[in-house]
Chain A
Amino acid sequence: MVMHRALFTWFILLVFFILLCLRLESRTHWNWFLIFVPMWIYDLILLMNAIFNVFIRCKHETIRTLFKNENILLLVIVLLKVAAQITLCLKLEYKFLNLQVYHVLIPVWIMLPILIIDVSTTLFRKEERR
């Protein structure tokens, strides 16, 4: 149900923001990978959901139609999000690695245009239907 998914997302965000505030205010000195635990859990669930749905469709679809499956898009987005989070945590936790801001943002720069194109096509398709 939408309500359950929405409430779960809300809870994950709430816990993440609380942990983030605690770490930013230096009240705790936990590892940044630990601060992102709610996000890792959420990403894992999203990945499992996407992979499960792709495998279900595999039975009924050819390879060409499989790539049009919207769950493939979700899979790519989540993987890029995880990559961005890992580089961010590495940058914040291990300063000696000398990671630059653009290293963190490279997955974001791939992810955001994909999302913008997807949302825009939905917007234009909706307009055409009218």
Chain B
Amino acid sequence: MFFTIEELVRWLGLTIFEICINLISLLLFTILLVFLYDPNVETSSNNWWMIFLPLFAGDALNAYFCVIVYIRSLLEMTLKFSLLRISWSGTFLLMTFLFKFLLCKRLLGQVSLDYSEVFAPLYILLQLIAVRACQQS
């Protein structure tokens, strides 16, 4: 394989469980998109919050999982390791959530942001991922 799951886990700093949750929420998102998106009305008239709900729920589940992992690693590992892990997971979750939130607002026409501004959290995340890529051996 080009990337094994272990390599992806090491590079992205996500656990296999988190990847699984993200994939399931993406599948539910695509199903809701087909059922709720109406191409005959204006883009802003669609219920985008409802369509994006599985993705937000996935983020919430991942955040809950990260907090549990943080508490457990505090008990079993060093404080430095726990803080590093929670800060990376927190940043990753925050950036992906911000992107989805801004995209939702943009599609609803509630903010007048350019798409480059909506994609800004993803660009920041990409820079952080590049740093992590350089740390791989």
Contact = CB atoms under 8 A, between A and B. Distances in A.
Interface of A: 1-3, 5-7, 9-10, 13-14, 17, 20-21, 24-25, 45-46, 49-50, 70-71, 73-74, 100-102, 105, 108-109, 112-113, 115-116, 119-120, 122-123, 126
Contact of A10 (B30, B116, B133): B133
A49 B137 CA distance: 21
B83 interface: no
B24 interface: yes
Contacts of A120: 20
A17 B30 contact: no
Contact of A109 (B30, B119, B137): B30
Interface residues of B, number: 35
20 contacts: A2-B136, A2-B137, A3-B136, A3-B137, A5-B3, A6-B132, A6-B133, A10-B130, A10-B133, A21-B115, A74-B1, A101-B37, A101-B39, A105-B33, A105-B34, A109-B31, A112-B27, A116-B24, A119-B20, A122-B5
B1 A2 contact: no
Interface SS, A side: helix
Contacts of B16: 119, 122-123, 126
B2 A116 contact: no
A26 to B, nearest CB: 10
A112 B134 CA distance: 29
B119 A17 contact: yes
Contacts of A102: 34
A105 B23 contact: no
B115 A24 contact: yes
Contacts of B49: none
Contact of A2 (B11, B26, B33, B126): B11
A7 B134 contact: yes
Contact of A7 (B3, B30, B123, B133): B133
Contacts of B123: 14, 17
Contacts of A13: 126
B134 A3 contact: yes
